[in-house]
Structure 1
Amino acid sequence: MEGTRVMHIVRFADSDATVHCGLLVDGVIRVLEQDRIADLLALSLAELRVLAEEPAATPVAAADVTLLPPLDGRMEVWAAGVTYHRSREARMEESAERSVYEKVYDAPRPELFFKAVPWRVVTDGDAVRVRPDSSLTVPEPELGLVVNAHAEIVGYLVVDDVSSRSIEGENPLYLPQAKVYEGSCAVSAGIRPVWEVPDVKALEIAMTITRGDEIAFKAAISTASLHRPVSELVSCLFDGQPYPEGAVLATGTGIVPGMDFTLTPGDVVDIDIAGVGRLVTPVR
């Protein structure tokens, strides 16, 4: 990183509603030749880094465009579960099948599940949602790994894996309904390149939920508490199936409110991962 420069790979719509990709640094976007994030993820990590370091051209002010979720094409969002001790405790607390979560925490194979396709993902400023048939819903702040078609981690995102604890707690087989629905997946608007994050094992993840003028919940944790190496999670994700246009893998949460807390419409969820980005979403 040069000085205090902070780079993000972004996807945005210009004043004509044409979608582009670019590199955002200090409020200015350098437009890239590739119009899709998926095309960038077809490149190797080395090729992407060379592209990012080319001389600036075609600058656009970030204030003049609309930042979009940095996913498109045939990208997929997956997530890992029970990767922090707090998550293990919370899942056991809510579930009628406690042993399922106790066993997977230390099992050779991690829990991985499908979360969203690009057109279902929202970003900073957009709303996340609670299911009308859920009595207990929580945000789950997570470090997201942006992985290219070659199974290389090329960047990081802030991810909110919004989840219905009441539905999953009834039966683990209800996991897709608890995790996959409209407004259940939000990501930060910029991908932080992997080469600009010196130590992924020491990032603070902080979440504040405000309700009106009050703080309803606040907590923080470090990725140092992540139970499995991120390289192991990526290896398991790619074991058995390709991702020709890349994927985002959320690495699980270590922040889970108590059973007496649920999101309500009007709440605002603010997630910050040091060195990666920030994601602020209202709740509908």
Structure 2
Amino acid sequence: MTPTALQSVRDHIASRIIGQQPFIDSMLICLLSDGHLLVEGMPGLAKTTAVKALAEAVEGDFHRVQFTPDLLPSDLIGTDIYRHEKGEFEFRQGPLFHNILLADEINRAPAKVQSALLEAMAEYQITVGQRTYLLPKLFMVLATQNPVEQEGTYHLPEAQLDRFLMQAIVTYPSRDEERRILELDSRQQIQHDTPIIKRLSHIELFAMRRTVANLYLDPKLNDYIVDLVQATRHPKLYDNDLERWCRFGASPRATIALARCARARAWLDGDEFVAPHHIQLVAPEILRHRILLTFEAEADGITTDEFVTRLLHLVAVP
């Protein structure tokens, strides 16, 4: 399989939103790497529209859940329902059993609902009572959150953040892009018919995933990936400022994610092997939600992206 096989997916997403190429690439990397994506951005930046466009271009079931403070774990997982005619309980599946799940404003749900996602996102199964149910082989969570409006929101637990393969930041469009957004909206108001597209099948997607997983990654680059993650845990070996800024480093999941996503990035670029710049391109989105900064760093206005940028400059490339 070649990257051109994904062109229909790219084209469909591009027909729905203008710009946001890094965000689109992050969605495709997560799709190829069998991972989940956390999307952060201000309201109205087409986060939900982009996720829906991806779901429309990929074969499978799609479901959107609006997370609210009164949401219950059973609203996601499902529940046992008593059938009088059979005299027994029957499990009714919840939204988690769809292939692509859009968790809109995920930080508005309480801790019990967040914990309901942990097993599903990590092990692709859920447990209800004494029974375990497997989720579909293609299962992807794309969650959105608003970074500014904090009223009625809950902090996402670190254990859950770690289960997101990447965290994408969606920014405001440029002036030219915003002008094109106006033109796109005008066309969509006139053209009411939904265009028919060729959806990416599960067979094609799984073949792409196998190709990506087999892409060559030099052992020296494996060492480089390990050094990057180790540097988040032992920053004093590299820089005094990094030591002051970092409270907790990334977990081994970050090491695995760097290797997976670097392969996917290289494959999307049409390369036949992973190079150091592929690792550096995906590192911010993999590490930014896995690093906890100190209060001193926050007081100095240091962000996790600035921490990762400095780290990439300090850790030697093989």
Question: TM (normalized to structure 2)?
Answer: 0.25
Q: Provide TM-score, normalisation by structure 1.
A: 0.28
Q: Which has the higher strand share?
A: 1
Structure with greater helix percent:
2
